[in-house]
Amino acid sequence: HSAQTFLPGLLYRKKLHEEAISTSLTTTARNKDIEPTNDDSTNPRTFLKRLLFFSVGAGVFNSLAGRYIANSAGGTFTTDSSLVALMSRASPFMGLANFIHPITMTLEGSIIAGRDAGYLVATYVFSLVLLLSQLRYRCSEFVAVYHALLLFQIV
């Protein structure tokens, strides 16, 4: 949600700054006060790189925590040992999906911030059709559900 919240303002500010620079180039002789700045903190790419850095950190934490819970602390949530064993078997795929999820959400937020809803809707339609097809035709056991969710996160 940070990308959706802050990137539009940065993108709009960058556009205004670029327009001011292009206008000021023609009036530089008359107006010496307009100086282009190279302030990296308002650069949308720098901001997105920071968000991606934090989302990778969150993904690593989510992946490790999810795998630990599935492998070592599953009994906290259920007393059914077969369910704990099943979740433990699915934990590598669940962990990878948990790692990719924050990165995906950051990139999705940047698409929303860039107001490219057509691309976002098209990719969601494609991804959902792929996910539902995978769940319907390829998931014969519980672990395959996590295969499908991992595929959904990757696409």
* C-alpha dist (Å) from residue 93 to 13, 83, 130, 149: 41, 16, 17, 8
Supply the pLDDT for residue 29.
46
pLDDT at 139 over 50: yes
How far is C-alpha 56 from the chain's CA centre?
A: 9
Stronger pLDDT, 22 or 59, i.e. the higher one: 59
Query: Alpha-carbon distance 144 to 131, whole Å?
Result: 11
- CA separation, residue 90 to residues 69, 128, 143, 146 (Å): 12, 21, 5, 7
Average pLDDT of span 57-76: 91
Read off the pLDDT band of 146 (50, 70, 90). Answer: confident
Single out the residue of 58, 65, 66 nearest to residue 100, CA to CA: 58
Confidence of residue 34 (pLDDT cuts 50, 70, 90): very low
Contact 130, 152 (CB under 8 A): yes
pLDDT over 50 (residue 85): yes
In this predicted structure, the answer to whether residue 46 has a pLDDT above a threshold of 50 is yes
* pLDDT tops 70 at residue 17: no
User: Mean pLDDT across the chain, nearest whole number?
Assistant: 78
